């Protein structure tokens, strides 16, 4: 028997009004869990204030319908994170800390995207762990939240992509060379002709294929420039 965890802990500095909006979101979850109906449900929604209504306007007859999509499982609205709100450096800001050992990555990211506009772009990291040393039970990732959306990155994807990556056809890593009896290997520069390596023009594969190779005593050849150079 083994237990898996998703650990995360980070803090974000936001405006006081945004912190109030996050606190209202926690209150909204409590109201939803009470399973209020009819006018009682509407009153609970209205009590959260106009800022909450602006951030999560209803998209159906249920007043909380605009809030529910932040959760991966709309039938189980839970942030899966402990949230603490403390005073910031001045009266206009608050420091909000999110932490947990079964951390709600997606719902917390969605909440920040909706409620913490002043802090964007922001990001946080998480760790996927196991209390037993089992193969492939460890990893993690990062979430980048920007004004135009949310990007999710995992160590599993990083490793998989690195192992399966093919040379990028559009990366400028080719140089045109010719060999000179006196100066040795020379490298083409679009402005100055053949010269030293430091001034060489880099070409993509597509550019090299369409390039009109100049005439030289030694027939020019394309060479791949080593990674990290020049």
**Beta-carbon neighbour count of residue 209 at 10 Å?**
10
Strands 4-15 and 93-100: antiparallel
Of all residues in the chain, the percent with pLDDT exceeding 90 is 66
Q: What is the pLDDT of residue 228?
A: 46
- Residue 230 pLDDT greater than 60, yes or no: no
- Residue 26 pLDDT greater than 90, yes or no: yes
Reduce the DSSP state of residue 110 to 3 states and report it. Answer: helix
Query: What pLDDT band is residue 171 in, cutting at 50, 70 and 90?
Result: low
Helices (H), 47-92: 50-55
For 191-202, what is each residue's pLDDT tens digit? 999 888 778 898
For 92-127, what is each residue's pLDDT tens digit? 999 999 999 999 999 999 999 999 999 999 999 999
Which region, left, alpha or beta, applies to residue 208 given φ > 0 means left and ψ of -120 to 50 means alpha?
A: alpha
Single pTM value for the model:
0.70
- Using CA atoms, how far apart are residues 18 and 13, in angstroms rounded to an integer? 10
Q: What is the pLDDT of residue 163?
A: 85
For 27-74, what is each residue's pLDDT tens digit? 999 999 998 899 999 999 999 999 999 999 999 999 999 999 999 888
Q: What mean pLDDT value characterizes the chain?
A: 90
- Residue 169 pLDDT greater than 80, yes or no: no
CB 12, CB 95: distance < 8 Å: yes
For 135-154, what is each residue's pLDDT tens digit? 888 999 999 999 999 999 99
């Amino acid at each position: 028997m083994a237990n898996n965890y998703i650990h995360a802990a980070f803090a974000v500095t936001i405006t006081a009004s945004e912190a109030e909006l996050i606190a209202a979101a926690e209150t909204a979850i409590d109201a939803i869990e009470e399973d209020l109906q009819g006018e009682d449900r509407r009153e609970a929604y209205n009590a959260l204030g106009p800022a909450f209504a602006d951030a999560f306007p209803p998209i159906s007859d249920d007043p909380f319908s605009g809030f529910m999509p932040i959760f991966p499982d709309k039938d189980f609205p839970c942030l899966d994170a402990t949230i603490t709100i403390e005073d910031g450096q001045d009266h206009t800001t608050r420091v909000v800390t999110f932490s947990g050992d079964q951390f709600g990555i997606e719902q917390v990211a969605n909440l920040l995207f909706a409620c913490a506009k002043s802090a964007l772009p922001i990001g946080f990291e998480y760790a996927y762990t196991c209390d037993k040393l089992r193969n492939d039970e460890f990893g993690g990732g990062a979430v980048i939240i920007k004004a135009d959306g949310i990007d999710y990155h995992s160590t599993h994807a990083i490793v998989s992509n690195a192992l399966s990556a093919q040379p990028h056809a559009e990366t400028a890593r080719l140089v045109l060379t010719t060999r000179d009896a006196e100066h040795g290997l020379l490298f083409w520069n679009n402005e100055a002709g053949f010269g030293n390596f430091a001034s060489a023009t880099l070409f993509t594969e597509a550019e090299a294929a369409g390039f009109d190779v100049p005439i030289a005593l030694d027939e020019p050849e394309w060479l791949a420039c080593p990674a990290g150079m020049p």
